[in-house]
Chain A
């Protein structure tokens, strides 16, 4: 594998992991009332935004690493990753730039349950799950790739849970808890992908540290 592909893959997935981890920590701090509005929203949206572009770059690097006969899966993963990044970047830019700074923002732009941007956010995370599911087919079942493969599959399996959280007709705080597995599968997938690229790069004689 080209050294630059390994570098891009490693650093991108590492940043995506740190952002996903940061998001999870901030979410917990919000639930236990340690941080409050608007700081909680700014941090949640900020960390969420920081997951998306590195995730796309990590999937791109994975595509370049994929064996030819499996490139169809990584290509499918890229397509859904692009959709994910587009949806969530649109949403977070609007929330951070046109909603949070204002006392009375345009209600059409506000991400309240079952609103336009609530649905856009849902589509983003559904696309992310589908992307990781497709990407899982790139990995082999060997000992070194088994864990990253199954974490990617697991993140794909979060899609039905995300769909229930966002589209169940009666919003409830309890409903948000159904999305909890994502807080394990998403950072876990990115961390294992970073480790995967690190191991690949060591074979190329590049030391990530």
Chain B
């Protein structure tokens, strides 16, 4: 793969990672539109207990995804395990966070979940992409 394309992909993946960080730090408690429950988890876990899962999940996703972007930028083989981990954490973060409101699917991580899925697929389909 040509260097400039590798850098561009690294930038997009880094952006994807950076966006998770504020959700993981403090911002989730500031989101007035969030119902405080997860569509998938229903009433099993909600409120403060759910937030104690959602925040670390977002923080871990952000850190792992940024690490993956750095690995892509430097053409390191580590990008593959990092991409799989970032993808899994990203999808889990969305699943635990989205409260089922269709109009909130983008603000609550819909595009992020799609990129996470794409990250996992890219490891399967293009394992030698950044050699």
Chain B 80-117 near chain A by CB (<8 Å), digits 1 or 0? 00000000000000000000000110111001000000
Chain B residues with CB under 8 Å of A169's CB are 103
Write the chain B residue with the least CB distance to A33. Answer: B30
- The reply on B12 being an interface residue by CB < 8 A is yes
Q: For residue B92, give the distance in angstroms from its CB to the closest CB of chain A.
A: 18
Complex: A172 Cα to B21 Cα, angstroms: 17
The answer on a CB contact under 8 Å between A174 and B15 is no
| CB-based A-B contact count at 8 angstroms | 66
Chain A residues with CB under 8 Å of B34's CB are 174
Query: Of A12-20, A102-110, A177-185, which binds chain B?
Result: A177-185
Residue of A173, A178, A181 touching B32 (CB-CB under 8 A): A173
Chain A residues with CB under 8 Å of B125's CB are none
Chain B residues with CB under 8 Å of A172's CB are 31, 33, 104, 107-108
Residue of A157, A170, A181 touching B104 (CB-CB under 8 A): A170
- The reply on A168 being an interface residue by CB < 8 A is yes
Chain B residues with CB under 8 Å of A184's CB are 18
The answer on a CB contact under 8 Å between B104 and A174 is yes
Chain A residues with CB under 8 Å of B26's CB are 31-32
Chain A: residues with Cβ within 8 Å of the partner, total of 22
Chain A residues with CB under 8 Å of B30's CB are 31, 173
With a 10 A CB-CB cut-off, give which of B26, B107, B108, B111 has the most chain A CB atoms: B107
Q: For residue A112, give the distance in angstroms from its CB to the closest CB of chain B.
A: 15
Complex: A174 Cα to B12 Cα, angstroms: 19
Chain B interface size, as a band, is: 20 to 34
The answer on a CB contact under 8 Å between A150 and B107 is no
Write the chain B residue with the least CB distance to A181. Answer: B15
With a 10 A CB-CB cut-off, give which of B21, B26, B106 has the most chain A CB atoms: B106
The answer on a CB contact under 8 Å between B18 and A180 is yes
The answer on a CB contact under 8 Å between B27 and A31 is yes
The answer on a CB contact under 8 Å between B21 and A174 is no
Write the chain A residue with the least CB distance to B4. Answer: A141
Residue of B22, B27, B107, B111 touching A170 (CB-CB under 8 A): B107
Residue of B11, B23, B32, B33 touching A177 (CB-CB under 8 A): B23
- The reply on A51 being an interface residue by CB < 8 A is no
Chain A residues with CB under 8 Å of B19's CB are 177-178, 180-181
Interface residues of B, Cβ cutoff 8 Å to A: 3, 7-8, 11-12, 14-15, 18-19, 21-23, 26-27, 30-34, 103-104, 106-108, 111
